[in-house]
Amino acid sequence: MSPTALDPTPGHTDSFSLPSSTTGVDQIKVHPSARRSPEGGLIKVESDSTVYEEEGIRAKFTDRGAEVVKGADGKLTVKKTEKNFEFFTKSKVGRVGLLLVGLGGNNGTTVLATHLANKHNVSWRTKNGVQQPNYIGSVVRASTVRLGVDPETGKDVFVPISDMLPMVHPNDFVIGGWDISALPMDKAMLRAKVLEWDLQRQLIPLMEDVKPMPSIYYPDFIAANQADRADNLIPGDDKAAHLEHIRADIRQFKADNQLDSVVVLWTANTERYADIIPGINDTAENLLKAVESSHDEVSPSTVFAIASILEGVPFINGSPQNTFVPGCIELAEKHKTFIGGDDFKSGQTKVKSVLAEFLVNAGIKPLSISSYNHLGNNDGKNLSSQRQFRSKEISKSSVVDDMVAANPILYKTAADLTKETGEVVKKGEHPDHIVVIKHVPAVGDSKRAIDEYYSELLMGGRNVMNIFNECEDSLLATPLIFDLAILAELLTRVTYREGSSGEYQPLYSVLSLLSYMLKAPLVKPGTDVVNSLNRQRNALEQFLKACIGLEGSTDLLLNTRVW
């Protein structure tokens, strides 16, 4: 251990003169986002529809909706619908592994460093004073849900999302992963230049022995400028052998660490899109055959996804490429395992999904949205290559589609345009939308995102809004990685049945409940994508409530509207 080394026992706090505790992490000194739930959980619902059993929580839930039918006269008939469900959530979380593809990258190293700093309660000095580790930016760990009202005071009661159901604490993940770069994790963290030096120096002894497992590298899929870091490779070019190798890695990691479950998450370089070719990647069967024949269009990320599906572990794609070709989705459906993607929604897109929704829902009409980014990290270097940029451009481009389509007052529909022009138009009116990304090494991980919103106002007026957003890229993405892994693991423990008899079954394979954290949410084929951040958060919140038998929107606050 180096002279600046940290005592790796939990409970230690260090930054030169700070005292260290030897008796485990003192909860008072822990940041609220890293605190643990009380034994047995914080919340207990007292209701006939919620039963706490030895194995888990059983809850009845009625899904209320409306069917809307348009008559020949254009008038709408609305029928109320109701469907009864029962959810069962296993309460034992167990030991959970988190395997990152791209462990040695900026996100991968920041995830491991954040986990270790919180686990060992390592504080560090900055020019502003002593900084405590935390999970700020994690919607699960650092945001709350309104649970109800305190009957005595009449005040709202809020609880952390992490207390809604039994969830893994991010300090408890067992973290490992793969990288095509062999650098051990301490050196990879130094290379990433994300965290403060006083933190890095304390984490070095905890990270120097962690080495990424060798990975698969098909140079055609990522930028040529990445070739010089590819020195940690599974040999050969037989994709079937690669698949077996990754499957064996997952099994070995699970066995070595006595894990109950594992989540695999892609935070490696953005790949180019794979061509969708009938007979190759259009069905599960064809995709497996394409792996057998080492077909050129099978990407590394798809090999990782297939390996995870076949090992029965969730796979999340944090990058924009089309890892989930149709055959891959079908394979997950067949095996009833879980997939989620695509592309972390960390900065510009998150703001855009809020701002565009605000404008359109305010009855203001965005005419154009122009987005520029420059960043200086390795992600930016990879994205300076045209085919990889194209994946990002596609992922960023559809974020306002559903909000625009939801307002036919402001935007002409495809049917309106077809009528107007006499030609068949497939897409309705839409704001002009461009995305530019440039690599500027000097700014490192501190991405600059500049967006102009140009909108139509009352009586032909115009409005320009400019946003300048300096995003600490990996510090925004890292909490999302924890959220995605925590929620994916939770969703593997939730089963449901319709009505109140019959077998419980797992949720549908594509975990669209993760949409809040993802730029281009993957959804059940044939269903609409929801990009609105508010709707995504509401869906997550209401689902967690449904699992403990709570229903309805709490924002009605009817008691404040009546006598």
Name the site residues for ligand NAD (rule: CB under 6 A).
101-102, 104-108, 178-181, 215-217, 222, 229, 267-270, 300, 318-319, 343-344, 346, 377-379, 382, 473-474, 476-477
Structural tokens at position 501: 């008899």
Residues that are catalytic: 343, 392, 447, 519
Q: Give the residue with the Cβ less far from ligand NAD, 135 or 543.
A: 135
Shortest distance, position 438 Cβ to ligand NAD, whole Å:
14
Shortest distance, position 180 Cβ to ligand NAD, whole Å:
4
Pairing of strands 432-439, 365-375: parallel
Residue 147 CB coordination number (10 Å): 19
Residues 25 and 120: their CA atoms lie apart, in Å, by 7
Closest to 269 in 3D by CA, of 389, 99, 397 = 389
- Burial class of 40 by CB neighbour count within 10 A (0 to 12, 13 to 18, 19+): exposed
Beta bridge partners of residue 472, listed in sequence order: 446
Q: Give the residue with the Cβ less far from ligand NAD, 201 or 242.
A: 242
Shortest distance, position 106 Cβ to ligand NAD, whole Å:
4
8 A C-beta contact, residue 269 and residue 223: yes
Q: Give the residue with the Cβ less far from ligand NAD, 60 or 381.
A: 381
Structural tokens at position 30: 């822990």
Vertex 289 angle, CA 285 and 291, to 5°: 120
Q: Give the residue with the Cβ less far from ligand NAD, 13 or 215.
A: 215
Shortest distance, position 445 Cβ to ligand NAD, whole Å:
7
Q: Give the residue with the Cβ less far from ligand NAD, 179 or 249.
A: 179
Strand extents, DSSP E, 376-488: 432-439, 446-456, 462-472
Shortest distance, position 102 Cβ to ligand NAD, whole Å:
3
Strand extents, DSSP E, 399-541: 432-439, 446-456, 462-472, 494-498, 505-506
CA 448, chain centre distance (Å): 21
Q: Give the residue with the Cβ less far from ligand NAD, 174 or 234.
A: 234
Q: Give the residue with the Cβ less far from ligand NAD, 121 or 373.
A: 373
Shortest distance, position 482 Cβ to ligand NAD, whole Å:
14
Residue 124 parent element (H or E): strand 124-126
Residue type, 535: R
- HSE at residue 547, side-chain half, CA atoms within 13 A, is 25
CB-closest chain residue to ligand NAD: 105
Closest to 267 in 3D by CA, of 205, 365, 346 = 346
Shortest distance, position 472 Cβ to ligand NAD, whole Å:
9
Which residues are CB-neighbours of 460 under 8 A, at least 6 positions away?
none
Residues 16 and 536: their CA atoms lie apart, in Å, by 43
